[in-house]
Amino acid sequence: MLCDQNAITDALVESYQTEGGINHLEGVDLPSKDAIAAVCADLLQILFPGFYEREALHAGNLVCRTAARVQQVVAGLKVEVRRSLAHQNHGGAELDERSHRLVCSFMRQLPEVRRLLGTDVKAAFDGDPAAGSYEEVILAYPGLEAIAIQRLAHLLYAEGLPLIPRMMTEWAHNRTGIDIHPGAVIGTHFFIDHGTGVVIGETSVIGSHVKLYQGVGLVARSLSAGQKLRGQARHPKLEDQVTIYANATIVGDITIGRHSTLGANVFVTEDVPANRVVALDEVKHQVRAKPAPLSAH
């Protein structure tokens, strides 16, 4: 079969003209996914110096290496923030200045993000007997990486910056299997154990010393109203010291009271008062002998 590449090209170009909504032609430049991925990787190196290096990082070159990374992130992020703001119809001569101010404000908050992440590392180590050290948590726990990127993205989300915060958390989602919306508000000492399949929606509010296991969903009750729900609280609130076990689903704008525990596989749609345990009724299992195997002839 002949492969007529000119015909394929012509058909694609015609599709670009007729299938609107999934093209971005003749418009302002959009933030680059590759560039945002690079920024996220650089930020992890800044947040956890010595953990993402191919070569050892020593105190003697710490200032130089940190300064170089800060300069690289500022330069790269300013380009992408400018594109994001331009897409939001923030044009004019002040666009460069606004991008500069937003990026500088973001970078000045990195020490506070490191302080919060220190509490998350401690929570993971204290809460998991399988953790051998803080180093193991930082190097090998996907939950920590997802939380780190979300804490960064949340700063930009709080500034009203479009596109980039979600691109950052989706980068982490792709790497870790953990989907935390940048809009979620998260307290200190947050631990996601194992993590695969965890989903935390945009308006979720999570207190301090909260622990989640794999497959937990903090989700909206219904999205049938679509864009009419924008800006409304539609996800759960978890107060301090809440623990939620694997594959539990918490639905809607409800509150799980402090010190409460939700067992595996529960489906919760109502408020839970403080100091409660929510669990499924006992499931009975049968244990019986297997039939004797057929003799081979």
Question: Tens digits of per-residue pLDDT, 153-202?
Answer: 999 999 999 999 999 999 999 999 999 999 999 999 999 999 999 999 99
pLDDT over 70 (residue 129): yes
Beta-carbon contacts of 109 under 8 Å, excluding residues fewer than 6 positions away, are 155
Structure confidence at residue 294 (pLDDT):
76
| Residue predicted with more confidence, 102 or 18 | 102
Chain mean pLDDT for the chain:
92
pLDDT over 70 (residue 24): no
In contact, 182 and 157? CB cutoff 8 Å? yes
What integer is the mean pLDDT of 17-40? Answer: 80
Q: CATH classification of 27-177, choosing from 1.10.3130.10, 3.40.630.10, 3.40.5.10, 3.90.650.10?
A: 1.10.3130.10
Angle (CA) 260-263-264 rounded to 5° is 150
pLDDT over 90 (residue 279): yes
68 membership: H or E segment, kind and range: helix 59-87
pLDDT over 70 (residue 25): no
pLDDT over 80 (residue 101): yes
Structure confidence at residue 1 (pLDDT):
63
CATH topology of domain 184-281: UDP N-Acetylglucosamine Acyltransferase; domain 1 (2.160.10)
Residue extent(s) of CATH 2.160.10.10 domains in the chain: 184-281
Helix axes 142-158, 33-47, angle to 10 degrees: 110
Say how far apart CA 156 and CA 162 lie, in whole Å. 8
Residue extent(s) of CATH 1.10.3130.10 domains in the chain: 27-177
pLDDT over 70 (residue 21): no
Instruction: Give the pLDDT band (50/70/90) at residue 134.
Output: very high
Say how far apart CA 197 and CA 179 lie, in whole Å. 7
